[in-house]
Structure 1
Amino acid sequence: MTTTGTEIPGPAGLPLLGSMFDLKNDSLGTFLKAQREHGDVVRITAGPPGVRATVYGVFSAEGVQQVLATDSANFRKDNNFYQELRESFGNGLLTSQDEDYLRQRRLVQPLFTKRRVDGYADAVAAEVAKLVADWADAEDATVDVLDEMTELALRAVARILFGTDVDTAVEIVERSFPVINDYVLRRGFSPLNVPRDWPTPGNRRAAAAHEELYAVCDRIIAERRASGRRGDDLLSLLAEAESAEDRSFDPGELREQVLVFLLAGHETTATSLGFALHLLARHPEERKRAHEEVDRVLAGRVPTAADLDGLPYLTRVLKEAMRLFPAAPAIGRRAVAATEIGGHTIPAGADVIVAPWVTHRHPRHWPDAERFDPDRFTPEAEAERPRYAWFPFGGGPRACIGQHFSMLESVIALAMLLQAYDLDAIDTEVPLATGITLQALGTARVRLRAR
């Protein structure tokens, strides 16, 4: 029997406001509780009558596969959140759709082949080496690994994008991104928004941050094109990307791709790497195994792309960190056609959420799900699970184009930091919230001991 619309089960919430306060205070916990109590397809309402929103959560691995892959044409990036992202970051790979997306993907895909991405290993290692040296002077031998990995990932992606034009870009991105992220988040989940051109304090702050961010990207692009200099940095390759069918990127499109790569290329990797370090700092046995693998394989030398296959335990540590702390903990779509999932029909026009945070804890695939256990990702264990039981990089035709780069950067950084330091956790729990990506509301401090 198939159920539709209002017959799909879900939390009742408050009589007039539904689950509004639950979602506002702890959206990830609300989704997790809804799955535990109501099943793999749930209906959640929030807000007072007149502006009430309804969202459908799809939490089974099989349901996620339908939304992101097999029935992906029925689930589009047409919701308010993606519209706000487009307004702020342009119509790049993250937000574009239909022919725009296919054209951009065809132009960009050759820049993300394994061979091309492996060529960025030296640039990543150079930034990690600088961080290793900086940590030697850390006050009280203490660092917040989430803050430190955000800085590292931003510097690494800026170096790969811009070549030598790193410091100015990093400074402006660090200042502008938090303002824009908060603005997108607030407007993306609000039922009513004033127009962006009204001179409210929030609009003016966001406009100033946009202007500064756009200006630095436009300046670097213009200087690069005027100089005629060719390089191996991603900006040069993007500027040269061209085909008879798809033409090339015009200056506005080029800026939009750069902004998306800056956003998606640093926050997601920073989250995975920061939590991997924090988890190792909290688990001495797993940390010992990671140290032993690094020492045995590298024997003190700087890792290269060729070493990734020889560091399987570090890779498993990162995958387990991405399971427990997925950088994109919830992914939204809008249904454009009624679709049956798990015996329920999601109606056309519905807002739909698939949530790595929930599916990565699904008891059918992850026993004792809150326990840190990298051996969940041995080849044998992975082969026994459905494809979409773990999907930190999304999936289907919109899967993250940079996932190999993220893993390359993360394994190299983790290996070099573990070569140099042992880590002991000071903060054992990190309060979290969800923004554009997973956000830490507290510190993730560790004490460093030089090895």
Structure 2
Amino acid sequence: MITQQAPSPAGLPLIGSMMDLQRDRLNLYLRARREQGDVVRFVAGPPGLRVEFYGVFSAEGAQQVLATDAAGFRKDNTYYAEVRAAVGNGLLTSQDEEYLAQRRLIQPLFTRRRVDRYADAICDETHRALAEWRAAEDGVVDLVEESTRLALRTVARILFGADADSALDVVQRCFPTINAYVTNRALVPVRPPRHWPTPANRRAAAAQRELYAECDRIIAERRAAGGEGGQDLLGLLAEAQGPDGASLEASQVRDQVLIFLLAGHETTATSLAFALHLLALHPDAQDRAREEVDRVLRGRTPTAEDYSELPYITMVLKEAMRLFPAAAVIGRRAVADTRVGDHVIPAGADVIVAPWVTHRHPAYWEDPERFDPERFTPEREKARPRYAYFPFGGGPRACIGQHFSMLESVLAIAVVLQAYRLRAVDTDVPLDSGITLQATGPARCRLTPR
């Protein structure tokens, strides 16, 4: 039986689910799936200022929204508009012909062969981080903080080459302000125009100006250097040409750089931090992963060729991304009235699919909150629906940097396990969902040198 309107959580009188969305939206989505089903209508805010959107939580529904009916669900919603206004119209936010042109231009820079060349930089930066960890008081480090620093250093080095250190300070200072600003504006029913001199607008504008200025400076210097700019990603991007011979303008290069910085460090940092955190919580899994590292590497630094020889670490990482997907929620907007499951989502409605929820769906995952890397043996992966697991999105807009993120995390985990044994200090890590999944508290662990 097809119903015309999906069920909604009860919420509070007049304001619906507004408080739950502000306090703990990730648990709200889990509870809604459990109590209302795989398609849920959320209503938040008082009459006249209401926000309404639909959650699609089944693997089949996620596949429809992201892949089979992708043209019917566009990036036209408020969230992507805010990201676009903050960091430009790069590959994450562009659409239609502009997106296709950008993808054709940039895809050659993210082939497996090209990305594998960054393995040395990944391992160098990980060794640099380990050297700093030796000075940690009582041998305790916060895996969230350290993974974020490592991922940011790595992507900045790969993007900017010799200019990485100058860009790093600006990015570390400006991105958190922009991230919080975008998330807050995407969730409230009333958004003051950006040119109004509110404290939040002024802070975000200052951060954006500083970030843009630093990127523009580096891009201008790189283009002035011509072929002397090196083979970092920015140099390749600045020189890239499409089939018609057209290259990107400086502002377009900046848009792509900012998206790569944002997506390339926050998502990988989340995956790496929680993979190490879960290993610190589960000594048996940690011992098995270390045995694999020792057997394959025999004390040497890993290379890109070792990636496929570390299947258990890859399974650990995939399980970490199941439990803590960096893109916890993915938004779209329905173009036309569309049937999803037993319900119709009306034209113009905002829609979310949520790896955070689908990765815990009991129809696909037995005992879903339990850490179990064995879920990702090849046989068990083949037995599940394709979109029971989609940490990198899916369909024509799937993340272009999937292999880079996986390679960086697997190699970094291997280097860490060569040097240290990990024991968790914090067992529970508080979370929130911004542009990406964010830890709002530490994930400390004690390091014992091997």
For 2:281 and 2:245, the matched residues in 1 are separated by 50
Show CA shifts across 1:181-213 (max 9, x none).
111111111111111111121111111111110
Q: Equivalent residue for 1:161?
A: 159
Q: Tell me the residue number matched to 2:93.
A: 95
Superposition pairs of residues 140-289 of structure 1, within 5 angstroms: 140-228=138-226, 229-245=228-244, 247-289=246-288
TM-score by length of 1: 0.98
Amino acid at match of 1:318: L
> What's 1:29 paired with?
27
Give the counterpart letter for 1:151 in structure 2: R
Return the alpha-carbon distance in structure 2 between the equivalents of residues 388 and 354 of structure 1. 11
Letter in 2 for 1:399: A
AA paired with 1:378? Answer: T
Q: Corresponding residue for 1:399?
A: 398
Equivalent residue for 1:79? 77
Aligned amino acid, residue 234 of structure 1: L
Which residue is 2:3 aligned to? 3
Q: Deviations over 1:215-240 (max 9, x none)?
A: 11011111111112142100011011
Task: Give CA-to-partner distance per residue, 1:37-62, whole Å, 9 cap, x none.
Answer: 11111111111100111111100000
Contact map agreement 1:103 1:246 (CA 8 A) in 2 = no
Superposition deviation, residue 246 in structure 1: 6.3
Q: Which amino acid aligns with 1:316?
A: M
Within 2, Cα distance between the matches of 1:14 and 1:134?
49
Q: Residue 107 of structure 1 contacts residue 246 of structure 1 at CA under 8 Å; is this kept in 2?
A: no
Paired residue type of 1:132? L
Shift of 1:79: 0.8
| Amino acid across the alignment from 2:75 | K
Q: Which whole-Å CA distance do the structure 1 matches of 2:23 and 2:335 have between them?
A: 29
Answer whether contact 1:3 1:345 (CA < 8 A) is retained.
Answer: yes
Choose 226-235 or 428-437, whichever is displaced more. Answer: 226-235
Q: TM-score w.r.t. structure 2 length?
A: 0.99
Identity %: 68
- What 5-or-longer segments of structure 2 have no aligned partner? none
Q: Does 1:348 align with 2:347?
A: yes
Number of the residue aligned with 2:424: 425
**CA deviation after TM superposition for structure 1 residue 9, in Å:** 1.3
- Equivalent position SS for 1:326: coil
Rounded Cα–Cα distance in structure 2 between residues aligned with 1:449 and 1:177? 33
1:261-410 residue pairs with structure 2 within 5 A? 261-410=260-409
**CA–CA separation in structure 2 for the residues paired with 1:337 and 1:411:** 41
Q: Distance in 2 between matches of 1:271 and 1:81?
A: 21
Distance 1:17 1:210 in 2: 33
Report Cα offsets for 1:283-308 as digits up to 9, x if no partner: 01111101110011001100001001
Partner of 1:122: 120
Report if the CA contact (8 A) 1:276-1:318 is conserved: yes
Q: What count of residue pairs does the alignment treat as equivalent? A: 449
Report if the CA contact (8 A) 1:59-1:355 is conserved.
yes
The offset of 1:245, in angstroms, is: 2.6
State the distance in 2 between where 1:337 and 1:119 align.
44
In 1: Cα distance, 2:149 partner to 2:296 partner? 27
Tell me how far apart the structure 2 counterparts of residues 159 and 8 of structure 1 sit (CA, whole Å).
47
Partner of 2:418, secondary structure, is helix
Q: Which moved more, 1:134-143 or 1:66-75?
A: 134-143
Q: Relative to structure 1, is the Cα distance of residues 441 and 260 closer, same or farther in structure 2, using a 3 angstrom cutoff?
A: same
1:244-277 per-residue CA deviation (whole Å, 9 max, x = no partner) reads 4361100000000000000000000000000000
Amino acid corresponding to residue 247 of structure 1 in structure 2: A
Residue 73 of structure 2 aligns with an amino acid whose one-letter code is: F
Amino acid at match of 2:224: A
Q: How far, CA to CA, are the matches of 2:106 and 2:116 in structure 1?
A: 16
Deviations 1:429-448 (A, max 9, x none): 00111111111111100000
Q: Which amino acid in structure 2 is aligned with residue 442 of structure 1?
A: G
The 8 Å contact of residues 122 and 304 in structure 1, kept in 2 or not, is answered as: yes
Aligned partners of 1:182, 1:158: CA distance in 2, in Å?
21
1:10 deviation in Å? 2.2
Matched letter for residue 2 of structure 2: T
Distance between the aligned counterparts of 1:251 and 1:210, measured in 2? 16
Partner Cα separation in structure 2 for residue 436 and residue 186 of structure 1? 10
Of 334-343 and 238-247, deviating more is 238-247
What letter corresponds to residue 447 of structure 1 in structure 2? R
- For structure 1, the 5+ residue unaligned runs are none
* d(CA) in 2 for partners of 1:15, 1:190: 18
Output the aligned Cα RMSD: 0.8
Cα distance between partner residues in 2 of 1:339 and 1:68: 13
Q: Which AA in structure 2 matches 1:115? A: R
Equivalent residue number for residue 433 of structure 2: 434
Q: The residue matched to 1:163 in structure 2 has which SS?
A: helix
Aligned to 2:13: 15
